[in-house]
Chain A
Amino acid sequence: MTGGTLSREQGIADLVDDYDVIVVGAGPAGLSAATTLAGTKARTLLIDENQTPGGQIYRAITLAQPVDRQRMGEDYWRGRSIAEEFLRSGAEYAPATTAWSIQPLQDDPGRTAGHEVGLSSSGMARLIRAKQVVLATGALERPFPIPGWTLPGVMTAGAAQIALKTSGLVPSGKVVIAGTGPLLYLLAAQLIDAGAMVSAVLDTTPRENWHRAFRHAPGFLVSPYLAKGLKLLKSVQRRTRVIRWVSTLAAEGEGGLREIVWMTGGREQRMPADLLLLHQGVVPNVNFSNAAGCDHYWDEAQLTFRPQVDEWYASSVAGLSLAGDGVGIRGAEAAAIQGRIAGLGCASQLGLIAPVERDRLADPLRRSLARAMRGRRFLDELYRPAKAFRVPQDQDTTVCRCEEISAGQIRASVNAGAGGPNQMKVFLRCGMGPCQGRLCGLTVTELIADERGTHPSEIGYYRLRFPIKPLKLRELAALPQTDTAKVAVLADLADTHHSTDLVERKSQ
């Protein structure tokens, strides 16, 4: 099969068993990596969970109409050319496909000779091999654990943006947007532009952040963020009430959201609401890189764990590169450039381009990357979410939404001997539900650090296991079974040979 998009009917059954490269994630980083690699004649497969390419920022871009250009802005529209370039690149594309595992393949001398990637689509799983893998799985919105955040009617602001991009849905009724972060006002403006009546924006950015951020003002002043940011702020302020210095926030209601309660300037206030949209920045989605065994470190500026990468975005695991916001939040433009650099790195590993050529091509990219990253430090400092919104102060606030574990229970387990997230998980089942810690991991690390009076870097993160996304038991059962595997389960009863010896079967 040559380049092209798999149709719904074909599914992943028609994929060949081996590729030069598998890229996971069709956001700006993954699209650019795949386009670059296909350009060097690497046999490239791009897979993504969504129905169409674009990732978060350019979600549903190939379906967008001219009205969306005006509604969502030029930064959104730019995704069209990135997606189109990819679709012409000759890389294969498997949409609506989830990657759930990645494992190194060893050659004879025990070196890593590539990876085997577990894919699942429309109820079918496959294991596909590739010499190089690029994970460009992007970011997710930082957990926002406030009292009542599990009530129906409370969603993330990103969720509302996705509903708008993919289905043209606009929030209606009494809508409140709350939080902080560079995207908060963008999301608010997009929703208002699309016709949403927003009752208020509750801004939780702490006052002291402004002082800290100003140290990094020079970079910010020359970055494109400044003009864009001011314009958004003005546009939102003109059209809704912006309430600043919000220091506590809670959602209330029986069986669904009714009211929002917050404090500002030491005073408690209330407002009825049908929909509360929360957002306090985005953080790398590290589930895949963590389960794959890549080294991670705590980034104090971004208050998150980030995978370690070298100048070609290669991770600590041989043959596995990472690019885009999954490595650290740098924004869409930087993600696309990183994807291209990672692509060049892989192409050179594959022997498709010479190192000199690789360096020559990467040079201008690195300069653009530096430009694209200007002003980031300012944004990181300014939009650092307040501790009260990261580490719930109220004991009853739910932290793990899946297993319904509260902040108080986690604090108590620390005192009962669970010194880290993995021991705590065993004590409370916290983080063991289907989201696999995506919505509680960072909160748990910071909570335990807070309770133990130490630093998150000392505490670490959940150790995650495959599958990183659930798949059906019957999908697993249909994967190829080796003789060794049969022996491991059935010992002498495996139908690989017919010995009549009786051995003691494995005992529990």
Chain B
Amino acid sequence: MGACVAWGLARQGLRVCVLDEGDIALRASRANFALVWVQGKGLGLPAYTAWTKSAAEAWPCLASELLSDTGVDVGLDQPGGFTLCLSDRELQVNVDMMMRLHNQPNTVIYPYEVLDHTQTRARLPAIGPEVSGSIYCPLDGHVNSLRLFRALHAAMKARSVDYRADHVVTAIEPRAGGFALKGAWGEVRAPRVVLAAGLGNARLAPMVGLEAPMKPSRGQIIVTEKAAPFLRYPVVTVRQTDEGGIMIGDSEEANASSLRIDHSISSVMADRAIRMFPLLGDLNVVRTWTAFRVMTPDGSPVYEQSETCPGAYVAMAHSGVTLAPQHAFSLADYIATGTIPKEAAVFSTRRFRVPASV
């Protein structure tokens, strides 16, 4: 998030400084599943569906801008994506959910197909007999998340963003004409400050009259060794990276307090992945990890300018990969101009205080 916004602001000619933690930190951007995903987003907040859909549409532009700024190909591939179901009940629940999404007032409509086993098999020949059906949405895709991370860092550098690692911010003080950000390393001043500190926002936001509501959400991911290409399309829980490794994930726990791996969860995920694609069984697992998501109470993003300390913004989203173009282009624009327009103002934290207006 921070890198997207910083790069976007620097593209507009602003002088940007990024203060970050060091080599080891809670960093969702280093731990994610890398889907650019539209399917299923926005139940309860139709604006989020629209925001996500245009993000997916803007991704090719972001990928090519990053390539031209840095020479790094982020491996964007948007062939459409699947939700695979291992029982009729699972399929029904997912189909109902898609229908409810599309039945919301003022929602954008996007194409999707409900496929039975045979239809699914025609597109994903490696599926196992237990797959009862799937939902396919042609807008979905994925990137190489490690290369995205690297490209954003290189892009910041290419645009002369002053990136400072090992600069934990411990205090932010509003000052006349701006803010002073402080830490053990010293102090920097700036007329505007964007809080894109992920989980760290919870602590920082109140210092400038903002809120960063989040609910605990832990995800776990399994990665296998590299394998020959077998999966043309990303599946919401199984994808093959362009380097060949298979990522399996992810789970969601609301009450986990540590990052300790839960092998029982790995087992459920591995078991389901093998039932979806039996040929995965003999692959070696090389890594598993858990990470906390930057999860707002309703799962939709939060973008807001402080009323008491204008010039201070908070920006956080769980789907930071999917929404990267919005953050680099639109959100950076809003911050540069100093106003968040109506279509994005719905993402303020006010929605958590008033009854939902949908």
Query: Which residues of A pack against B, CB within 8 Å?
Result: 101, 103-104, 116, 118, 127, 413, 416-423, 426-429, 432-434, 436, 459-460, 463, 465-467, 470-474, 476-482, 484-486, 488-493, 502, 504-508
Contacts and interface: CB of A to CB of B under 8 A. Distances in A.
A467 B289 CA distance: 10
A504 B44 contact: yes
B243 A488 contact: no
Nearest to A424: B23
Contacts of A507: 37, 40-41, 299, 318-319
B264 A485 contact: yes
Given A429-B146, A508-B37, A479 B263 contact: yes
Interface of B: 22-24, 30, 33, 35, 37, 40-41, 43-44, 89-90, 93-94, 96-97, 100, 146, 149-150, 153-154, 156-157, 163, 165-166, 219-220, 222, 224-225, 236, 243, 248, 250-253, 260-274, 280-289, 299, 318-319, 322
Contacts of A421: 23
B268 A485 contact: yes
Contact of A480 (B163, B165, B253, B264): B264
A502 B288 CA distance: 30
B263 to A, nearest CB: 5
Contacts, number: 178
A476 B96 contact: no
Given A470-B284, A489-B272, A504 B299 contact: yes
Given A417-B157, A434-B225, A484 B165 contact: no
27 contacts: A416-B157, A417-B154, A417-B156, A419-B23, A419-B165, A426-B146, A434-B284, A459-B23, A460-B23, A466-B261, A466-B288, A467-B288, A470-B286, A472-B284, A472-B285, A473-B248, A473-B285, A474-B281, A484-B264, A489-B268, A489-B272, A492-B93, A502-B96, A506-B250, A506-B252, A507-B319, A508-B236
Given A474-B274, A502-B100, A506-B219, 11 more contacts: A416-B153, A422-B23, A427-B146, A460-B23, A465-B288, A472-B281, A476-B263, A488-B265, A508-B35, A508-B250, A508-B319
Contacts of A418: 153
A429 B286 CA distance: 13
Given A477-B270, A488-B251, A488-B265, A505 B287 contact: no
Contacts of A416: 150, 153-154, 157
A473 B224 contact: yes
Contacts of B272: 489
Contact of B282 (A104, A417, A426, A472): A472
B182 to A, nearest CB: 21
Nearest to B298: A504
Contact of A489 (B97, B157, B251): B251
A476 B283 CA distance: 11
A154 to B, nearest CB: 23
B97 A504 contact: yes
A432 B97 CA distance: 38
Given A465-B289, A473-B273, A493 B93 contact: yes
B33 A508 contact: yes
Please list the 8 inter-chain residue pairs (A to B) with the smallest Cβ-Cβ separation, ordered nearest first.
A420-B23, A470-B284, A485-B264, A474-B281, A477-B270, A477-B271, A479-B267, A476-B270
Given A127-B263, A434-B286, A470-B286, A493 B269 contact: no
A427 B165 contact: no
A111 to B, nearest CB: 14
B183 to A, nearest CB: 16
A489 B276 CA distance: 14
B265 A489 contact: yes
Among A459, A479, A480, residue most surrounded by chain B Cβ atoms (within 10 Å): A479
Contacts of B250: 506, 508
A425 to B, nearest CB: 8
Among A101, A478, A489, A508, residue most surrounded by chain B Cβ atoms (within 10 Å): A508
B282 A474 contact: yes
A433 B253 CA distance: 28
A214 to B, nearest CB: 38
Nearest to B256: A488
Given A460-B24, A481-B267, A473 B150 contact: no
Given A103-B261, A426-B150, A505-B40, A486 B285 contact: no
Contacts of A506: 219, 250-252
